[in-house]
Amino acid sequence: MISMRKINALVAKDMKTTLNNIFVLSGLLAVPIMGLLLSIGSEPEQLIALASFLVPMNVLLNGANIICVMIAEEKEKHTLNVLVASTVSGADFLVSKVVVTALFAFVSNALVYAILRLGGVMPFGPFLLVTGVTILPVAVVGAIIGIACKTQAAASTAVAPIMILLVILPPLIPENYFTENILRFVFSESMTHGLSAVYSGEPFLAEIGIIAANFVVLAAVFWAVYRKKGLVG
């Protein structure tokens, strides 16, 4: 059973330790700094093109990196063994990690939104809704990687290429049946389509539904990995 008291205590602990974690902070600052440098002197059209690349990278990289590094850090410092041996349940542990991931990702997304001056072309609420919902499947992927890795360095190294491929590869694949009917149902592409719909003022609830479905499928995968390896691995 999930305990809100324990989750609140874990969130407070994780917020403090994460702010001192170089692997997480470097990722959180990398994309906003990149956006700041690349946006200097850019025209509105160029900023939109830049956002179409930097926003997915920010969501995917940070969302997965934060949670997988946090889990790996607990394992590396052997604090996870203590938590699992105490009254903290696996659900309490993981929910707290997702909450912290969402909070940091929210701040990072807001920074990118402000730096790229998207306020004039894309409403803040829908922008946060699409990117925020995407954090859920992204966080599950990060949690799976975190369970599989034994150190923070290994976790950070493992998660980066996976998420970068999800950002870079789809635009390079020629338009065909695969890209139009299969690839678009991957959460990363659904987020891209959702943000394009927000920019165009079109409905985006279908994309939210696809992202939510991704979360359910990935959560089932996570549960299978968790039952096999456990949190300690």
pLDDT score at 210: 94
**What gap in Å lies between CA 141 and CA 133, rounded to an integer?**
14
pLDDT score at 80: 66
pLDDT score at 84: 62
Give the single-character DSSP code of 40.
Answer: T
CA angle 214, 157, 195 (to 5 degrees): 35
CA angle 45, 38, 200 (to 5 degrees): 30
Break the chain into its structural domains and give their ranges.
4-229
**What gap in Å lies between CA 131 and CA 55, rounded to an integer?**
8
**Cα-based torsion angle of the residue sequence 19, 21, 23, 25 in order, rounded to the nearest 10 degrees:** 20
- Would you give per-residue pLDDT tens digits along the chain (233 residues)? 677 888 888 888 888 888 888 878 887 888 889 989 988 888 888 888 888 888 988 898 888 888 888 888 888 877 766 666 667 776 777 788 888 988 888 888 899 999 998 988 889 999 999 999 999 999 989 988 888 887 888 887 888 888 888 887 777 777 776 666 777 888 988 999 999 999 999 999 999 999 999 999 998 888 888 777 666 55
pLDDT score at 207: 94
In the chain, the amino acid numbered 16 is K
Phi, psi of 2, deg, nearest 5: -80, 135
**What gap in Å lies between CA 171 and CA 112, rounded to an integer?**
21
- Indicate the burial class of 18 (C-beta count within 10 angstroms; 0-12, 13-18, 19 or more): buried
Q: pTM of this prediction?
A: 0.85
**What gap in Å lies between CA 126 and CA 172, rounded to an integer?**
27
- Lookup: tokens for 28: 């959180």
pLDDT score at 232: 58
Name 90's Cβ contacts closer than 8 Å, sequence gap at least 6: 84, 226, 230, 231
